[in-house]
């Protein structure tokens, strides 16, 4: 599994390379592969003891992808596509981690990385236009290019609930799950959070625990995964059509080979609408949010999807009062990521599961023995925080990244992240963010998103070489226009209405800005290509 390539006492590295890549998830691994293929010397740095990123850290029971594995996998190597056999439609975390480890070995990427090493700062030397990258192990790397593949969902959010540290039982965050697993047998378990991580893990924890208390602040929409095993015949058929599948994915709105119904939800008959929703419900998961093109654009269209999903929830949950608590009432469907579940709502039919509605009875404190709400003390052995991430900017904010004139990225982004195309930031020459804010990022298949960005960054570096430039830097006007374009696009949707992590609303004090680009994966790819074709329009060179 996660091989340690560096021993705990390795000497620090003082080194000069062409490029530093931070992160060894899907993005960081591909960045190392791609830049190496250009002939660059590359040093990767990763906090974890192995490759995998998201899939290294999130080992909680039930962790799976919600984009089909055949799509949520690298496309850069047709040989890899043909040789890897996914066992299910939505692979489990161990299978995805095994795949990433296979890729690291097959393409000989592991040795480029310093593992168990956290980047603490990256500072620009304005004279030489080189980046000095420092780590918590005393390493100092000087590089022309600095690529942050640090993940959009890699910084766990531990809420500051009073008394959190006093709990005497075991505490786990889903995003930092112990490698040896957690045995809930005979335990009274509390899960705080009903986002994707909570909803994926709750059914499996319930099967093991003596009693499970789910502490729900906001109910969430969730659609059954419709997961299935792939047999050889199915795999053969998918592999035969892989190239076309990828083409459709690259042109689609979300990076998968599916598109919304051609008509508005309100243009079709009641019968046709129900049939379309039913078909998407059966297809499974997050794609339900994109059944009709206007579903997250108008209240009236959204209401039709909500009504359909709510009827499903009422049918799945035996106790009507519990069903009502499980139906969201604070956001339009799809404006928080729809969860892809396996028997989530049915779990509330079990006698050993209690739903605690925190809107009715908020948590007052965590105590030595459990959780106290405004009306009850719950005695617990184990507490699971499924409380999400400081998304999109969290990992970058936790490093000291300093560009021109000693100005930090944190200062530049104090009112919310500002990028050109989600990749470049004015004042930070030769610094690239992969799947950053201002790109489709978390709204699309992130493996294809990472490949798209890294291929573009590689083309950008080749452009520098061809024109004998030393550095590329996003201009302020192009960035301002892009930020405004992203804001305008979001404002034509219902997304800004939700208190979602897309809006930064889950982190106290974080600026409330819709962070991803919502114009679609295919449309964004076209813009990236046009910008490159026009000599990287909107960037300055020196």
Which among 165-173, 178-186, 187-195, 204-212 is the span making contact with ligand N01, rule CB under 6 A? 187-195
Q: Which of 327, 358, 497, 532 touches ligand N01 by CB under 6 A?
A: 358
Q: Are 515 and 487 in contact (CB under 8 A)?
A: no
CA dist., res. 186 & res. 381, Å (int): 9
Which among 19-27, 185-193, 295-303, 304-312 is the span making contact with ligand FAD, rule CB under 6 A? 19-27
379 φ/ψ sector (left φ>0, alpha ψ -120 to 50, else beta): beta
Q: Which does 119 bind (CB under 5 to 8 A by kind): ligand FAD, ligand N01, none?
A: ligand FAD
Cβ distance to ligand FAD smaller for residue 73 or 493: 73
193 φ/ψ sector (left φ>0, alpha ψ -120 to 50, else beta): left
Which among 149-157, 229-237, 244-252, 530-538 is the span making contact with ligand FAD, rule CB under 6 A? 149-157
Q: Which does 516 bind (CB under 5 to 8 A by kind): ligand N01, ligand FAD, none?
A: none
Helix (H) or strand (E) holding 17: strand 14-22
Q: Are 439 and 420 in contact (CB under 8 A)?
A: no
CA dist., res. 454 & res. 74, Å (int): 12
- Using rule CB under 6 A, residue 65 touches ligand N01: yes
Q: Which of 101, 150, 154, 194 touches ligand N01 by CB under 6 A?
A: 194
Q: Which does 218 bind (CB under 5 to 8 A by kind): ligand FAD, ligand N01, none?
A: ligand N01
- Using rule CB under 6 A, residue 386 touches ligand N01: yes
| Nearest to 213, CA basis, from 29, 42, 357 | 357
Binding mask 430-469 for ligand FAD (x = CB under 6 A): ----xx---------xx---x-------------------
Which among 6-14, 295-303, 384-392, 429-437 is the span making contact with ligand N01, rule CB under 6 A? 384-392
Q: Which does 45 bind (CB under 5 to 8 A by kind): ligand FAD, ligand N01, none?
A: ligand FAD
User: Minimum Å distance from CB 277 to ligand FAD?
Assistant: 22
* 113-114 and 42-45 beta bridge pairing: parallel
Cβ distance to ligand N01 smaller for residue 167 or 389: 389
Neighbours of 300 (CB within 10 A): 11
For Cα atoms 126, 118, 472, give the angle at the middle one, nearest 5 degrees.
30
Q: Which does 195 bind (CB under 5 to 8 A by kind): ligand FAD, ligand N01, none?
A: ligand N01
Residues touching ligand N01: how many (CB under 6 A)? 27
Binding mask 42-71 for ligand FAD (x = CB under 6 A): ---xxxx----xx-x-x----x-xxx----
Cβ distance to ligand N01 smaller for residue 28 or 175: 175
**SS3 of 158-187:** CCCCCCHHHCCCEEEEHHHCCCCCCCCECC
Cβ distance to ligand N01 smaller for residue 56 or 389: 389
Q: Which of 23, 151, 190, 198 touches ligand N01 by CB under 6 A?
A: 198
- Using rule CB under 6 A, residue 153 touches ligand FAD: yes
> 382: Cβ–Cβ under 8 A, 6 or more apart, which residues?
169, 170, 171, 172, 182, 184, 187, 188, 189, 190
| Nearest to 74, CA basis, from 55, 99, 91 | 99
> 289: Cβ–Cβ under 8 A, 6 or more apart, which residues?
295, 296, 305, 333, 334, 338
| Nearest to 214, CA basis, from 94, 335, 325 | 325
Contacting residues toward ligand N01, per CB under 6 A: 64-66, 153, 159, 161, 174, 192-198, 200, 217-218, 337, 340, 358, 386-389, 442, 501, 506
């Amino acid at each position: 599994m996660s091989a340690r390539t560096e021993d705990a006492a390795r000497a620090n590295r003082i080194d000069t390379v062409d490029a530093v890549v931070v992160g060894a998830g899907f993005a960081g691994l591909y960045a190392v592969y791609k830049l190496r293929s250009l002939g660059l010397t590359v040093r990767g740095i990763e906090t974890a003891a192995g490759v995998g990123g998201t899939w290294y850290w999130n080992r909680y029971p039930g962790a799976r992808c919600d984009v089909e594995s055949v799509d949520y996998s690298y496309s850069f190597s047709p040989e890899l596509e043909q040789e890897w056999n996914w066992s299910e439609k939505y692979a489990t975390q161990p299978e995805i981690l095994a795949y990433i480890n296979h890729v690291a070995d097959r393409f000989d990427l592991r040795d480029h990385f310093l593992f168990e090493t956290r980047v603490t700062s990256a500072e620009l030397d304005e004279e030489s236009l080189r980046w000095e990258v420092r780590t918590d192990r005393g390493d100092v790397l000087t590089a022309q290019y600095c690529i942050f593949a640090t993940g959009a969902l890699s910084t766990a959010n531990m809420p500051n609930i009073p008394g959190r540290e006093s709990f005497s039982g075991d505490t786990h965050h889903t995003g930092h799950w112990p490698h040896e697993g957690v045995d809930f047998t005979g335990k009274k378990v509390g899960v705080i959070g009903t986002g994707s991580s909570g909803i994926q893990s709750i059914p499996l924890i319930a099967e093991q625990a003596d009693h499970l208390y789910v502490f729900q602040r906001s109910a969430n929409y969730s659609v059954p995964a419709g997961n299935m095993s792939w047999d050889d015949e199915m795999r053969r058929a998918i592999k035969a059509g892989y190239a076309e599948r990828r083409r459709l994915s690259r042109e689609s709105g979300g990076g998968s080979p599916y598109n919304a119904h051609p008509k508005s939800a309100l243009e079709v008959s009641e019968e046709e609408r129900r049939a379309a929703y039913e078909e998407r419900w059966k297809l499974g998961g997050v794609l339900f949010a994109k059944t009709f093109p206007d579903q997250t654009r108008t209240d009236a269209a959204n209401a039709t999807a909500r009504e359909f999903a709510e009827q499903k929830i009422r049918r799945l949950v035996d106790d009507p009062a519990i069903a009502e608590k499980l139906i969201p009432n604070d956001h339009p469907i799809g404006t928080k990521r729809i969860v892809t579940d396996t028997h989530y709502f049915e779990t509330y039919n079990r006698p050993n599961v209690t739903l605690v509605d925190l809107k009715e009875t908020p948590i007052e404190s965590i105590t030595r023995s459990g959780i106290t709400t405004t009306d009850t003390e719950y005695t617990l052995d184990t507490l699971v925080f499924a409380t999400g991430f400081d998304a999109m900017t969290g990992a970058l904010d936790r490093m000291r990244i300093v560009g021109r004139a000693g100005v930090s990225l944190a200062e530049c982004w104090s009112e919310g992240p500002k990028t050109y195309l989600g990749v470049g930031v004015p004042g930070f020459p030769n610094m690239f963010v992969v799947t950053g804010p201002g790109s489709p990022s978390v709204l699309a298949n992130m493996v294809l998103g990472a490949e798209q960005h890294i291929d573009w960054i590689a083309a950008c570096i080749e452009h520098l070489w061809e024109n004998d430039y030393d550095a590329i830097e996003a201009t302020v006007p192009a960035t301002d226009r892009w930020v405004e374009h992203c804001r305008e696009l979001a404002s034509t949707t219902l997304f800004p209405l939700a208190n979602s992590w897309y809006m930064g609303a889950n982190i106290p004090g974080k600026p409330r800005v819709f962070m991803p680009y919502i114009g679609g994966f295919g449309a964004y790819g076209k813009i990236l290509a046009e910008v490159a074709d026009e000599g990287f329009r909107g960037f300055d060179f020196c």
